[in-house]
């Protein structure tokens, strides 16, 4: 799935006890960095990626040869200015871009893990990535930033390591996966499982991939990342390279063609089992539950300055769910700012060129850094 | 900076925790932060203003005072400021209760509808008064519940709200209001500033 020579990895020797009860050790974390760490080591930002992201935040992704997933936000003079900050991003465990995941070989059985890979959680992902701080000799990050599942990792990180970051920016996320979130993820997983190539996760042994199932999973998920208005404006009922309906089941409409394309390019870069594991980790995320139902208690020990951002047209992680985090922080007197950005681009807004979002992000970081 | 803000800032000691409700572009917040080492937070309904505050490095929460004050615990701020916005709420009484719950003290300023220019405007022109502090037309004003300094005085009394200090502002002149001069101040001040507690 990936060309390993372009991937930097750190092998974590320290055993990590997972939430499922199993312990892993000597496992790889694949990461990438941008910019340079200053001598005081106080300019580092740990970026967490979302469900289908990876460590290649910006520039050309050397594996897919496409722009990094957050090229709009990260780079020289951009919102997360790599002339100023040292940006670190790691592929989550369970992922398929070089970090320990289900497409790795199990050293005991010499077979690809597949669904024998342990179920991992957002907490496990964060606990694995914190090792990167030791690797770079960073005592305290300047910021932890992430959108969607990346935002969940931000929340979990601050909760687990209250002294390890100065600021925290969870974007378009939630502290607890809703029934609707779980439902969409389950739809994706069932699409993969229904592909006869999936073979209960053992497809690698037969050198095949459940690409049809994975593509359908991606298509369904992709709809949830966009807004109704955005879709209508971009596609409406426009026809795909034809003058009239064909009275068949080809992609008559542009939106059908677009979704099929999104599905087809996704299967080239993503592992189906990873998709199962990562969506499961998101579904299991319920930060309040970790603190007997009181979300505020998750942040009681931190002095980190929070900045929470949501988007008007995001119905996957709507403003109210982001605001619930603000409320939990305010109820303990934490330092928290919040802004809802006007955008028609749905949940995907955080990945796109949304000037109000990017300027808010830049201002918050740069102004907070001045006082560093 | 507006004289009003200087008067408000004078009421606040150094190193306090303060919430500015309806903080607009954060001018007062920034002044307090820079000059009084205030641990300052803002609540602001306008997205554009919130962006301006972020640009100044201020901690601001986008929200609506009528709904979003309830998230703050009792007495979690030393002072809560409400500058010229009380009259714009659907339910000013409720907002005032919330201000006094969240803050140990509150500083509330009101454009005075008893100001002589306002009275004369209505008396002679017979149209809704327009002044420097009340610049909008009747059909586009955000002000739903105009009151006078006297009204606020009586209102506070009826609600058993303690008024520590009340100040009358007229351009650059600031003077204390008391029971004796209330009638006169109500006529000559275009702005009232009240430091209150419950």
For an interface test with A, give the residue of B45, B61, B72, B104 to mutate (most A CBs within 10 A).
B61
Domain(s) of CATH 3.40.50.1820: residues in chain A: 4-177+286-370
Q: Angle at CA A173, nearest 5°, toward A284 and A334?
A: 105
Q: What is the mean pLDDT of residues B5-13?
A: 97
Per-residue confidence (pLDDT) for residue B132, from 0 to 100: 86
Q: Is A356 on the interface with B (CB under 8 A)?
A: yes
CATH topology of domain A181-279: Rna Polymerase Sigma Factor; Chain: A (1.10.1740)
- pLDDT of A1 above 90: no
Percentage above 70 pLDDT, chain A: 99
B123 in any annotated domain: no
Percentage above 90 pLDDT, chain A: 98
**pLDDT tens-place string over residues A219-235:** 999 999 999 999 999 99
Kindly give the pairing relationship between strand B162-170 and strand B191-197. antiparallel
| C-alpha of A124 from chain center | 14
B134 in any annotated domain: no
Looking at domain A4-177+286-370, its CATH class is alpha beta
How many domains is chain B partitioned into structurally?
1
Per-residue confidence (pLDDT) for residue B1, from 0 to 100: 83
Q: Answer whether A359 sits within 8 Å of B59, measured CB to CB.
A: no
| Residues 20-49 in B contacting A (C-alpha not used; CB under 8 Å) | 41, 47
Q: Angle at CA B16, nearest 5°, toward B107 and B159?
A: 30
Tokens of B100: 């006094």
Q: Please, which contacts does B39-48 make with residues 24 or more away whose CB atoms are closer than 8 Å?
A: B39/B15, B41/A335, B41/B77, B43/B19, B43/B68, B43/B69, B47/A339, B47/A340, B47/A341, B47/A342, B47/A356
**pLDDT tens-place string over residues A75-96:** 999 999 999 999 999 999 999 9
- pLDDT of A6 above 90: no
- pLDDT of A38 above 80: yes
Predicted complex ipTM: 0.92
Catalytic-labelled residue, pool A99, A211, A347, A348: A347
Q: Answer whether A360 sits within 8 Å of B62, measured CB to CB.
A: no
Q: Answer whether B54 sits within 8 Å of A340, measured CB to CB.
A: no
Q: Answer whether A368 sits within 8 Å of B57, measured CB to CB.
A: yes
Q: Is A333 on the interface with B (CB under 8 A)?
A: yes
B155 in any annotated domain: yes
**pLDDT tens-place string over residues B133-162:** 889 999 999 999 999 999 999 999 999 999
**pLDDT tens-place string over residues A331-368:** 999 999 999 999 999 999 999 999 999 999 999 999 99
Q: Which residue of B has its CA nearest to A328?
A: B71
B27 in any annotated domain: yes
- Measured between CA atoms, how close is B63 to chain A, in angstroms? 9
Domain(s) of CATH 1.10.1740.110: residues in chain A: 181-279
B95 in any annotated domain: yes
Alpha carbon separation from A80 to A234, A352, A353, B58 (Å, rounded): 29, 14, 13, 18
Q: Is A331 on the interface with B (CB under 8 A)?
A: yes
Q: Is B63 on the interface with A (CB under 8 A)?
A: yes
B140 in any annotated domain: no
Q: Residue A306 is inside which H or E element, if any? A: strand A305-311
Beta-strand runs (E) in chain B: 17-21, 39-44, 59-62, 77-83, 103-111, 162-170, 173-176, 191-197
Alpha carbon separation from A89 to A17, A55, A101, B51, B107 (Å, rounded): 22, 5, 17, 27, 46
Q: Which chain A residues touch B71 with a CB distance below 8 Å?
A: 326-327, 330-331
Write the CATH number for B149.
3.40.50.150
Question: Out of B54, B58, B61, whose CB is closest to A336?
Answer: B61
Backbone angles phi, psi at A296, to 5 degrees: -55, -35
Of A165, A217, A177, which Cα lies nearest the Cα of A48?
A165
**pLDDT tens-place string over residues A17-34:** 999 999 999 999 999 999
**pLDDT tens-place string over residues B41-97:** 999 999 999 999 999 999 999 999 999 999 999 999 999 999 999 999 999 999 999
Per-residue confidence (pLDDT) for residue A372, from 0 to 100: 64
A314 is known as an active-site residue = yes
- pLDDT of A150 above 70: yes
- Measured between CA atoms, how close is A363 to chain B, in angstroms? 5
* pTM (two decimals): 0.95
B120 in any annotated domain: no
Q: Answer whether B54 sits within 8 Å of A363, measured CB to CB.
A: yes
Per-residue confidence (pLDDT) for residue A2, from 0 to 100: 47
Q: Which residue segment(s) compose the domain that B152 sits in? A: 3-112+145-197
State the average pLDDT for chain A: 96
A347 is known as an active-site residue = yes
- Measured between CA atoms, how close is A364 to chain B, in angstroms? 6
CA distance B147 to B136: 16
Per-residue confidence (pLDDT) for residue B172, from 0 to 100: 81
């Amino acid at each position: 799935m990936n060309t390993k020579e372009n991937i930097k990895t750190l092998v974590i020797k320290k055993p990590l006890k997972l939430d499922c009860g199993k312990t892993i050790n000597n496992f790889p974390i694949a990461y990438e960095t941008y910019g340079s760490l200053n001598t005081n080591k106080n300019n580092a930002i740990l970026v967490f990626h979302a469900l289908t992201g990876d460590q290649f935040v910006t520039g050309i992704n050397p594996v897919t040869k496409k722009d990094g997933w957050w090229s709009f936000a990260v780079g020289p003079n951009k919102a997360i200015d790599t002339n100023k900050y040292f940006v670190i991003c790691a592929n989550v465990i369970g992922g398929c871009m070089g970090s320990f995941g289900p497409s790795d070989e199990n050293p005991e059985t010499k077979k690809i893990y597949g669904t024998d890979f342990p179920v991992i959680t957002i907490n496990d992902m964060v606990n694995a990535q914190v090792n990167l701080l030791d690797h770079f000799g960073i005592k305290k990050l300047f910021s932890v930033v992430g959108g969607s599942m990346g935002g969940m990792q931000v929340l979990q990180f601050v909760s687990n390591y209250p002294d390890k970051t100065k600021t925290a920016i969870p974007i378009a996320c939630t502290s607890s996966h809703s029934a609707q979130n779980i439902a969409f993820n389950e739809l994706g997983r069932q699409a993969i499982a229904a592909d006869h190539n999936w073979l209960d996760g053992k497809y690698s042994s037969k050198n095949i991939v459940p690409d049809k199932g994975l593509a359908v999973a991606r298509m369904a998920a992709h709809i949830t990342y966009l807004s109704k208005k955005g879709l209508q404006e971009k596609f409406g009922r426009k026809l795909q390279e034809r003058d009239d309906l064909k009275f068949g089941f080809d992609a008559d409409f542009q939106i059908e063609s677009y979704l099929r394309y999104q599905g087809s390019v996704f299967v080239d870069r993503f592992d189906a089992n990873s998709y199962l594991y990562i969506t499961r980790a998101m579904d299991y995320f319920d930060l309040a539950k970790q603190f007997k139902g009181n979300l505020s208690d998750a942040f009681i020990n931190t002095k980190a300055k929070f900045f929470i951002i949501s988007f008007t047209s995001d119905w996957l992680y709507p403003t109210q769910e982001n605001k619930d985090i603000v409320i939990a922080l305010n109820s303990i007197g934490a330092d928290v700012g919040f802004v809802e950005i006007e955008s028609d681009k749905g949940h995907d807004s955080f990945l796109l060129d949304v000037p109000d979002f990017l300027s808010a992000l830049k201002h918050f970081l740069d102004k907070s850094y001045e006082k560093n | 900076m507006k004289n009003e803000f200087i008067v408000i800032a004078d009421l606040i000691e150094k190193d306090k925790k303060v919430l500015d409700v309806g903080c607009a572009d954060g001018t007062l917040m920034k002044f307090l932060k820079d000059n009084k080492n205030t641990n300052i937070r803002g609540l602001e309904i306008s997205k554009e203003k919130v962006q301006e505050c972020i640009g100044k490095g201020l901690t601001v929460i986008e929200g609506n005072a009528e709904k979003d004050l309830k998230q703050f615990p009792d007495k979690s701020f030393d002072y809560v400021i409400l500058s010229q916005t009380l009259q714009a709420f659907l339910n000013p009484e409720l907002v005032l209760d919330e201000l006094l719950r969240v803050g140990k003290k509150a500083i509330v300023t009101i454009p005075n509808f008893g100001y002589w220019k306002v009275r004369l405007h209505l008396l002679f022109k017979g149209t809704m008064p327009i002044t420097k502090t009340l610049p909008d037309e009747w059909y586009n004003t955000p002000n739903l519940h105009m009151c006078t300094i006297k009204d606020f005085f009586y209102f506070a009394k009826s609600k058993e709200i303690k008024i520590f200090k009340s100040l009358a502002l007229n351009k650059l002149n600031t003077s204390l209001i008391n029971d004796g001069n209330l009638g006169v101040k109500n006529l000559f001040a275009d702005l009232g500033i009240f430091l209150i507690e419950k």
